[in-house]
Amino acid sequence: MDKWIEAVVSELSLQGVVVSDSLMKEILAVARDAAHNVERPAAPLSTYLMGIAVAQGADPADVAQRVGQLAVNWDAEQAD
């Protein structure tokens, strides 16, 4: 996974961006929770929206916690 992250960082010219092990685990947990509790396409879309929030200055750990909690508590009836 580290080589993939390095390749993406390079491809997107994101010099200086580091994805720590703990942050990677948080992002993957959100993706898992969104896929299992909302629906599968929610995983990549949620992580994309998390990236936008972080790009606008939000704290990555806070974003992951909030979106992860939203997914865990998601009630399928909310989607109707």
Q: Could you tell me if residue 11 is inside a domain?
A: no
pTM of the predicted structure, to 2 decimals: 0.85
9-19 confidence digits (pLDDT tens) = 999 999 888 89
> What's the average model confidence in pLDDT over 21-37?
95
Q: Could you tell me if residue 23 is inside a domain?
A: yes
DSSP state of 20: -
* Tokens, residue 80: 């109707």
Q: Could you tell me if residue 71 is inside a domain?
A: yes
Mapped onto helix, strand or coil, the DSSP state of residue 38 is: coil
Q: How many domains does the chain have?
A: 1
Neighbours of 19 (CB within 10 A): 16
Q: Could you tell me if residue 26 is inside a domain?
A: yes
Q: Which domain holds residue 44?
A: 17-79
**C-beta separation of 1 from 19 below 8 A:** no
Q: Could you tell me if residue 10 is inside a domain?
A: no
Report how far residue 58's alpha carbon sits from residue 70's, in angstroms, rounded to the nearest whole number: 17
Q: Could you tell me if residue 4 is inside a domain?
A: no
